[in-house]
A and B are shown apart, each in its own frame.
Chain A
Amino acid sequence: MTGSASKVYANAREALAGVVRDDLTIMSGGFGLCGIPENLILALRDCGARGLTVISNNAGVDEFGLGLLLKTRQIRKMISSYVGENKEFERQYLSGELQLEFNPQGTLAERIRAGGAGIFGFYTRTGAGTLVAEGKEQRVVNGETFVLETGLTSDLSLVKAWKGDTEGNLVYRKTARNFNPMMATAGRVTIAEVEELVEAGELDPDQIHTPGIFVQRIFKGTDYVKPIEQRTVRKKK
Chain B
Amino acid sequence: MAWTRDEMAARAARELKDGFYVNLGIGIPTLVANYIPQGMKVVLQSENGMLGMGPFPLEGEEDPDLINAGKQTITQLPISSYFSSSDSFGMIRGGHIDLSILGGMEVSENGDLANWMVPGKMVKGMGGAMDLVAGVKRVVVVMEHNSKDGAAKFKSRCELPLTGANVVDMVISDLAVFARPDRKSPFKLLELAPGVTADELKSRTSASYQV
Contacts and interface: CB of A to CB of B under 8 A. Distances in A.
A230 to B, nearest CB: 4
Interface string A76-120: 000011111100001001100000001011111110110000000
Given A31-B85, A130-B161, A226-B65, 11 more contacts: A31-B67, A31-B69, A32-B48, A93-B122, A105-B126, A106-B47, A107-B89, A124-B93, A128-B165, A228-B62, A234-B56
Ranked nearest first, the 6 interchain pairs of A and B with the lowest CB-CB distance are: A106-B89, A129-B165, A106-B131, A84-B124, A226-B64, A82-B125
A198 interface: no
Nearest to B161: A131
B49 interface: yes
Interface residues of B, number: 54
A150 to B, nearest CB: 15
Contact of A105 (B47, B73, B82): B47
Interface stretch (A6-14, A169-177, A200-208, A213-221): A169-177
B27 interface: no
B63 interface: yes
B148 interface: no
A105 B62 contact: no
Contacts of A226: 64-65
B65 A174 contact: yes
A212 interface: no
A34 B71 contact: yes
B46 interface: yes
A177 B127 contact: no
Summarize B's interface: helix, strand, loop or mixed. loop
A225 to B, nearest CB: 9
A121 B56 CA distance: 39
A125 B162 contact: no
B141 interface: no
Interface of B: 46-50, 55-59, 61-74, 76, 82-86, 88-90, 92-93, 112, 122-131, 134-135, 161-166
A200 B66 CA distance: 27
A128 B167 CA distance: 11
B131 A175 contact: no
Contacts of A126: 93, 130-131, 134-135
A43 B20 CA distance: 45
A208 to B, nearest CB: 13
A166 B130 CA distance: 40
A128 B113 CA distance: 12
Contacts of B82: 172, 174-175, 177
B84 A102 contact: no
B165 A94 contact: no
Contacts of A113: 86
A231 B62 contact: yes
Given A125-B135, A128-B165, A234-B58, A34 B67 contact: yes
